[in-house]
Structure 1
Amino acid sequence: MAEASPHIWLLSAYRADSHAAWADWLQQHVHEVHWHVRELPGRHFRWRIRGSPLSWLDDLPGQTPDRIVATSMVDLATLRGLHPRLAPVPVDYYFHENQFAYPVSPGQVESLEPQVVQLYGALAADRLLFNSRFNRDSFLDGARELLRRMPDATPERVPERLAARSSICPVPVHPIPAAPERDHGLILWNHRWEYDKAPDLFADAVIGLARAGYRFRLALLGARPRTPPDALTRLRAALPERIIADGRVATPAYRELVGRAGIVVSTAAHEFQGLAMLEAASAGAIPLVPDALCYPEQYPEQYRYPVGDAAALQARLAAWLTGDRPPPADVSPWLAPAVEPAWRRVIRGEQAESVV
C-alpha cells in the first residue's frame, strides 16, 4: 500500500509581497503533500502579529497535521498553547523579515511586543528558516541585545540555541526573460514607495543626473499610497518627459519593462531578500544597491554604493549610462531552479541545509 501523503498546515498571518509569493509557490510546486492553508490579509500589522491565534481560534483544520510551516508573523507560542494537540507536531518557522531589523516609520511608536512575539515563536519552533543570512544574523543579534536588557532572571545562550537550528532558505524567485532589445538608458525602480525603501534618495540622484545633462528614461513601478509621496511628486514635476511608465502595471507589461531595463536601482533602508531586485537582475538589468542589508550576499562590490549617499549613487549611474558598466550580475543561486530542492527537503522533514 502506498504511503499516505503528509498533511501540512501552511500558516501565513500577513499575506503581502514576499509572503504571498512564497505561499503560492509552495502550493503550486510541492504537490506530494496535502496543503491546509490559513492566511490573513496583509494589513493591520500589529493586530496580525499578536492576534493571529485569536483569528484562527475556531478556524483550524480538525485533523492534526504531520507538520506545520508558519511565518514569523504568526504568534506561534500562543497558537500552540491554545491548541494542546499541536504540541508534538514539528514546526518550521519561516522569517521573511524580523522585527529587530525593521525600521520604525515616522510617527510610529516603537514597541518590544512584535520582537518578543517572534522570539517566543522561534523558541517554540523546531526549526528556523530565514530568507537571507542578513535576516538570520540581525534576528540573532537583536535577540541577544533584547536579552541583555532584561533586568534579571535572564536565560543563557538563547541566540546560540536558536542559531543551531537555523538555516537559510530564500523565497524562490522566478527568472524573467530578457527582452529582444535592451534599453541601456532605462532606469527601473520597482519597489514600494514607502519610507523603508527611501525613494527620496533615488529622486535626488536621478534629478541630479538630469541636471548634469545625462540622457536616460525612467520606469517608476511598484505600489504607492493614495497620496503620492514627495519623491514621486518631485520626479513627475522635474522629469515628466523621461518617465515611460508610472504606476503598478499588469504582469505582462511589468515583465516586459523589467526585461528591457538597463539598470535597476535600490535605495532601501530595509531589505531582507529583495525579490524585486532579484527579478530584474535575473532579466539582465544591472543592479545598483546599497552596500548593506542582504545585498552584500547577492551582489559583488562593483554593484554596490555607500549607504545613503545620493552623490555616489548619481556618479555610478552616470558612469554606467556612458558605457562604463559591469556585466549583468549572476543571481542564479537565489532563483527557483536552485532553491526548489531545498524547499522540498524542508517539506519532507529532512535536514534543512542552508542554500546560499
Structure 2
Amino acid sequence: MSTLIIEAFYGGSHKQLVDLLQEEIEDCVLFTLPAKKWHWRARTAALYFMENVPASDDYRILFASSVLNLTELVALRPDLGKLKKVLYFHENQLTYPVQKCQERDFQYGYNQILSCLVADVVVFNSAYNMESFLTSIGKFMKLIPDHRPKHLEKLIRPKCQVLYFPMKFPDVSRFMPEHKLPHIEKTPGAEGNGSTDLFMDLPFQEKNGGTTGLINVTNPDHGPGHSELRSAHSSSWPETLHNLPTTLEKLEKPASSTSTNLSQAEDSQYAAFNLSSVSGRSGCQEKPLHIVWPHRWEHDKDPESFFKVLLKMKEMELNFHVSVLGETFTDVPDIFSEAKKALGSSILHWGYLPNRDEYFQVLCMADVVISTAKHEFFGVAMIEAVYCGCYPLCPKALVYPEIFPAEYLYSTPEQLFKRLQNFCKRPDIVRKHLYKGEMSQFSWAALRGKFRSLLTTEPREDL
C-alpha cells in the first residue's frame, strides 16, 4: 500500500509540504517537476506525469497540489483515476491577484474547478483559502458567455476541508539574542524528533490550547465547522487596531540618535551576509529597530507599499535597520533596486538566503516582521518569523485575521507607518512584548494524525 505524491511545482511551500509528507508518512512515492515557469506547469504537467509515473498495483492514494490539472491526468491515466484522489490547495486561481483584470487567464481557475470535481477530497491550507475559492465559483463561471454550468459550489463543498499547512522547525535558541532568551523554552531535538510538544514551547507563546486545525464541511447549511468558518471571516471583527499598551500609543520621546548602521555595500557583500554587527548578545536594547520582510519579490506581495512606508521613515530620520529576504524570479519589480539605493546604510541584508540556518538566524535577530501582501492564503514566512520571536504586522485582510490576533493587524499603510514610527522610538517595548496568538495548531505535531488519516484508505476490490 503506497501513497503517490505528485507535485508539479516543486519549490517553496509546495516542496516543504511534500518533503515533510515523504519523510513522515510511510510508503510515499514522490514525482515532481522543478518550480519554474508556473503557467506551463499548470498547462502541461499532466502530460509529463502521464509518461513518467510508472504503473503500480501498490498505489492506493494520489496526493497532488492544485497546480496539477488532475482532470487531465486521470483521463490520461485511468489506473490513477481509481485511486483515492486528494487535492491540496496552497492557493487558488479564482482570487489570485493580477496586475490588470484582462491578464487573468480563465483556464487556470477553470482547471482547478474541474480538478475539484474529479477529486475525492479537496483540502485547503486555510479557511480563507477555501471560502474565497468556493464563494467565487459562481461569479467566475459567469465569464462563460452562455450555457454556463450550475450548482458547482454545492457539488464541490461537501468534499472540502481545511488542514493547515504543517510547520516543523529546528531549535533556534542558539540564534536568539539575549533579550529573547527569557521567553523561549528550548525543545531538544525539535528537528523531527516526533515530540508532540514541538510547538507547545515556542518563543513568545501562551499555552492556552487552540483549535484543531481541521474544519470539515460536509453540509453547507449547518454544522460547527461551517459556522466557525463564517465567524472567522465576518466583517464584525473587533476594531482593536489601536489598542496597544499605553507605552506604545503615547510615545513622545525620540530614540537615541546613535546606531550601529552598516556602511553601503555592493551586491556581493549583501549576499555574503555577516551577522557580526548585530548578533552580539549584549546591548540589544540600544540597537535600532530591526525590520524584516521575508517574502517573494513579486507584485502580489506589494513591495511598493512596504518600501513607501520605509522611505517615509527614512525621510523623517527614524532609526531602523531592515533585512529584505525572499526568493526572486525572472521579473523583479523595479521598486527593489530603487529602494535599495534609497535605504542605503539602513540595510542589514538584501537578498534570498537558501541556507535555512542563515535564514532563521536573521529572523531571530529581527524585531518586527511585516507583510503588505495583496495575496496570502496561509503565510509560512510570517509564522516562521513569529516562531523566531518577531512581532508581526499584517494587513487586516486575506488570511491574516484567521492566523493572528487583531492587535497585530493594520488597515491602511498610514496605520502601518504609525506603528513602526512608535516602535522605532521605543524598540525595547517591542522586544519585551509577548506574542498573544496561538501557534500550536499549525505544528506538525498537532497535524500529523490528520495528515496520516487523510493519506490512508481501505483496500478496494476494484483496484
Is the TM-score greater than 0.5? yes
**Alignment partners' CA distance in 2, 1:98 and 1:257:** 30
Output the CA distance in 2 between the equivalents of 1:292 and 1:191. 17
Match of 1:50?
43
RMSD: 2.1
Aligned to 1:344: 452
Look up the SS of the partner of 2:83 in the other structure.
coil
Unpaired segments ≥5 residues, structure 1: 1-5, 351-356
Alignment partners' CA distance in 2, 1:66 and 1:279: 33
TM-score by length of 1: 0.89
Q: 2:290 matched to 1:296? A: no
Counterpart pick for 2:311 among 185, 197, 207: 207
Q: Deviations over 1:72-124 (max 9, x none)?
A: 11111111111122332110111111101111246983211001110000000
Contact kept, 8 Å, 1:36 with 1:61, in 2: the verdict is no
Measure, in 2, the Cα distance between the counterparts of 1:333 and 1:82.
38
Q: Conserved in 2, the CA contact under 8 Å of 1:122 and 1:162?
A: yes
Structure 2 regions of 5+ residues with no counterpart? 181-283, 459-463
Deviations 1:276-330 (A, max 9, x none): 0010011110110011111110011110111xx3222111112233345453243
Query: Which secondary structure state, in structure 2, belongs to the residue aligned with residue 56 of structure 1?
Result: helix
Query: Equivalent residue of 1:69, what SS?
Result: strand
Distance in 1, matches of 2:328 and 2:66, equals: 25
CA deviation after TM superposition for structure 1 residue 155, in Å: 4.1
Give the fraction of aligned pairs with identical amino acids, expressed as a percent. Answer: 29
**Aligned-partner residue type, residue 89 of structure 2:** F
Stretch deviating more after TM superposition (111-120 or 330-339): 330-339
Partner of 1:313: 416
Q: Distance in 1 between matches of 2:92 and 2:101?
A: 20
Would you say the 8 A contact 1:282–1:332 is kept in 2?
no
- The residue that corresponds to 1:59 in the other structure is 52
Higher relative contact order (CA 8 A, sep 6+): 2
Q: Which residue of 2 aligns with 1:127?
A: 121
Decide which of 327, 342, 351 is 2:434's aligned counterpart. 327
Alpha carbons of structure 1 residues 303 and 339: separation in structure 2 relative to 1, 3 Å: same
Give the Cα separation in 1 of the matches to 2:148 and 2:335.
45
Contact between 2:367 and 2:391, CA under 8 Å: does it hold in 1? yes
Aligned to 2:238: none
Of 236, 240, 253, the residue aligned with 2:344 is 240
Distance 1:301 1:347 in 2: 35
Aligned length: 341
1:174 touches 1:279 (CA, 8 Å); kept in 2? no
SS in 1 for 2:9: strand
Give the corresponding residue for 1:353: none
| Corresponding residue for residue 21 of structure 2 | 26
Contact 1:203-1:234 at 8 Å conserved across structures: no
Instruction: Give the distance between the partners of 1:153 and 1:228, measured in 2 at CA.
Output: 41
Partner of 2:161: 167
Name which of structure 1's ranges 145-154 and 119-128 shifts more when overlaid on structure 2.
145-154
**Tell me, what secondary structure is at the counterpart of 2:50?**
coil
Report the alpha carbon displacement of residue 67 of structure 1 after superposing the two structures with TM.
0.8
* 2:401 counterpart SS class: helix
Cα gap change, 1:208/1:145 in structure 2, threshold over 3 Å: closer, same or farther? same
The question of 1:198 aligning with 2:302 is answered yes
| TM-score normalised to structure 2 length | 0.69
Q: Which amino acid aligns with 2:177?
A: P
Are residues 55 and 228 of structure 1, via their aligned partners in 2, closer, same or farther at CA, if it must alter by over 3 Å?
closer
Give the match's secondary structure for 1:9: strand
Structure 1 letter corresponding to 2:93:
Q
Match of 2:213 in 1: none
State how far apart, in whole Å, the 2-side matches of 1:225 and 1:345 are: 36
- Find the aligned partners of 1:285 and 1:292 in 2 and give their Cα distance: 20
Between stretches 208-217 and 263-272, larger displacement belongs to 208-217
- Could you tell me which of 213, 223, 226 is aligned with 2:327? 223
The answer on 1:85 being equivalent to 2:79 is: yes
Is contact 1:68-1:92 (8 Å) kept? Answer: yes
- Structure 1 pair 46/239, CA: closer, same or farther in 2 (3 Å)? closer
The answer (yes or no) to whether the contact 1:175–1:283 under 8 Å persists in 2 is no
2:258 is matched with none
Conserved 8 A contact 1:187-1:261: yes
Q: Which moved more, 1:161-170 or 1:102-111?
A: 102-111
Counterpart AA for 1:130: F
| In structure 2, distance between residues paired with 1:140 and 1:199 | 29
